[in-house]
Structure 1
């Protein structure tokens, strides 16, 4: 019998237990781990969003079983003025953790209590026996640190990690080197940038296919794709499934799999195809869009933000159809969809984004009607 798969497989994001980039710090006391994590997070925070995972199992520091949770509430939220606090009266699954931490660039984990897909191992003679019990957790060690009482990686660590000598090794007090390690890891993990030309609309107001108008000597969808080729790793023309066969073979296509949702569905379809890539999304109704504007957007890309976009010169709102959408925006877009919203601008207006003033306001001019075509032609002369 042929193998039967009940559910269709789709590309999964490269998550660990909490995030795409996560490290468990283990091998020493919880206090030392917390201090180290604070130093790393403090140094990374200006450029990256960091999360931290820990556990507290001592009885005298547990929340008393009184109040709303004790009365039976499953979830309690408190506005603490300088921060927000949630209490859950239920265990959270890996899937829920990933959703909560989805906007983090890096998550540090107290490895004495929880695990992560990468590890930073500390050689501390006082916790040697404890580390040996966790040897099976050393599945992807990326950094080794030596406490003051250790001179090298322990024998059992060397046996468990044959390539241990190829792993960076610092003293625990060498904070600068440790921070530089994490900065390099985050920089190397910058998501690749793909281009997506939105050409799947039905152009009802225009009365003809906007993507087929030859503003610059060739159909606009191909002109925009050519503009993006020098800025993106891969460039795709987003289209409806029935359009795919009619597009030129020299251009990669990406048909909508979230149908009847307009640009929103096109963006989601792109993330469904490559969820770990960032997508520079450009509409095909911007005839005055110049390469300098696109280069400026890419040069000022803020990887830590949900998206990098331009402020519309017309209403001051973010312009969603010439925007770099980072991978962390994928679950946010899906969550808005689940609440009944299919407006990408609404997502941007209610998220932490990086907004730029356009170099050339006319470059963001949308042309959707025959009347607007004439106005654009006047500006082009």
Structure 2
């Protein structure tokens, strides 16, 4: 429901399902508002920081125009269009006529790794405060907005933190304090924050398939001294914080109680639903998703995947040498892939490979391509048995 200003009005409703919400701020999980300086100085600082960080991260900047005299809508918006998309040579531009509410903003900025905003106009869940004598009064008016200050900067001509800042931020002495011109240390601060905020990696073994082509549960095949789904889960423990075995709800009682199961809540979608169910459970975690029918998978392949993980991408995946497409079921899916997966589902697609093909992903070539071999039929099973027997005999 909207009020006259077009903003969404949220009303509590007792029938709403309790969901784990991602740790978003106004725009993104990782966002900082720079306050305490003239807008021109904030733009300059943001530009320097973004220029340095953009080598490794997708950065976004938020500001408000000061062209108060401009009242005419641009382009075809003036004619009544809702959107106007322009494909420029070096960039794309999309103009909107509608207001953005908090839900729209988070959706729009979901692909960014971090957001820096002009705090004179926009609030974020973390702040960088510039101590500038000529903005003392303005900063004092914004004292209530300083809810999570993480960095203090001294402007030229200012040699100490204001007393009202000290009173408002009890731990101010534990915060890093640099000159605003010390770009090297400021960039180092943001790099450290980004590394600290790197999403935890959990493991998800896909064992909820019906194995119709095989004729029996592939996850139960004993290739390495135990059922394959448990063998895969045990391998993932060395690389993941927590490991889950994905299953159908009717399978959950079959899973060994010493392993944590995660039943599908997006049903009828195969592996796609399993991945979405994992993000529904822990939306701020990354998920190393692996199929249970990869009998030749080994720890070096998992080590190579995790060592080359790129949290800035939607996912990090192996490239299939047979079909030259990403292998979606031995892939690290980052938290930013969750809304992407939901968006594809809303458009009628439930193929995780299609998501990888049409998004920014980091693709790796397996050092040993055999590890990507999956088993779907009895004939393939017999062939892999021979490969494993030869491997054991050679050891």
Alignment TM-score, normalising by the size of structure 2: 0.94
Q: 1:328: how far off?
A: 0.4
SS in structure 2 of the partner of residue 102 of structure 1: coil
- Unaligned residue ranges in structure 2 (runs of 5+): 1-11, 391-395
Inter-partner Cα distance in structure 2 for 1:198 and 1:49:
30
Partner of 2:223: 215
Taking a change above 3 Å as real, the CA distance of residues 306 and 66 of structure 1, as seen in their structure-2 partners, is closer
Partner of 1:130: 138
Partner of 2:242: 234
Partner of 1:362: 370
Inter-partner Cα distance in structure 1 for 2:147 and 2:118:
16
- Unaligned residue ranges in structure 1 (runs of 5+): none
SS in structure 1 of the partner of residue 85 of structure 2: strand
Partner of 1:32: 41
Inter-partner Cα distance in structure 2 for 1:110 and 1:355:
35
SS in structure 1 of the partner of residue 360 of structure 2: coil
Partner of 1:102: 110
Matched, 1:188 2:162: no
Partner of 1:267: 275
Inter-partner Cα distance in structure 2 for 1:6 and 1:123:
47
Inter-partner Cα distance in structure 1 for 2:376 and 2:75:
57
Inter-partner Cα distance in structure 1 for 2:35 and 2:74:
34
Inter-partner Cα distance in structure 1 for 2:307 and 2:186:
28
Inter-partner Cα distance in structure 2 for 1:48 and 1:205:
43
Matched, 1:224 2:232: yes
- Aligned ranges 1:35-184 → 2 under 5 Å: 35-60=44-69, 62=70, 64-65=72-73, 67-184=75-192
Q: 1:66: how far off?
A: 5.7
Alignment TM-score, normalising by the size of structure 1: 0.97
Contact kept? 2:314, 2:361, Cα under 8 Å: yes
Q: 1:5: how far off?
A: 2.1
Contact kept? 2:75, 2:84, Cα under 8 Å: no
Inter-partner Cα distance in structure 1 for 2:16 and 2:152:
41
Residue among 11, 14, 21 paired with 1:5: 14
- Aligned ranges 1:273-284 → 2 under 5 Å: 273-284=281-292
Inter-partner Cα distance in structure 1 for 2:136 and 2:75:
42
Q: 1:353: how far off?
A: 0.4
Inter-partner Cα distance in structure 1 for 2:219 and 2:66:
60
SS in structure 2 of the partner of residue 162 of structure 1: coil
Q: 1:128: how far off?
A: 1.1
Q: 1:59: how far off?
A: 2.4
Inter-partner Cα distance in structure 2 for 1:74 and 1:134:
35
Q: 1:68: how far off?
A: 1.0
SS in structure 2 of the partner of residue 130 of structure 1: helix
Q: 1:4: how far off?
A: 8.0
Structure 1 window deviating more from structure 2 (251-260 vs 159-168): it is 159-168
Q: 1:127: how far off?
A: 1.1
Deviations 1:246-304 (A, max 9, x none): 11111000000000000000000000000000000000111111111011100110111
Q: 1:70: how far off?
A: 0.9
Inter-partner Cα distance in structure 1 for 2:201 and 2:35:
34
SS in structure 1 of the partner of residue 267 of structure 2: coil
Contact kept? 2:19, 2:280, Cα under 8 Å: yes
Partner of 1:307: 315
Q: 1:57: how far off?
A: 3.3
Partner of 2:329: 321
Residue among 197, 210, 220 paired with 2:205: 197
Inter-partner Cα distance in structure 1 for 2:158 and 2:238:
50
Partner of 2:8: none
Partner of 2:253: 245
Inter-partner Cα distance in structure 1 for 2:365 and 2:171:
49
Number of equivalent positions: 378
SS in structure 2 of the partner of residue 59 of structure 1: coil
SS in structure 1 of the partner of residue 158 of structure 2: coil
Inter-partner Cα distance in structure 1 for 2:71 and 2:14:
45
Partner of 1:257: 265
Inter-partner Cα distance in structure 2 for 1:152 and 1:103:
38
Partner of 2:7: none
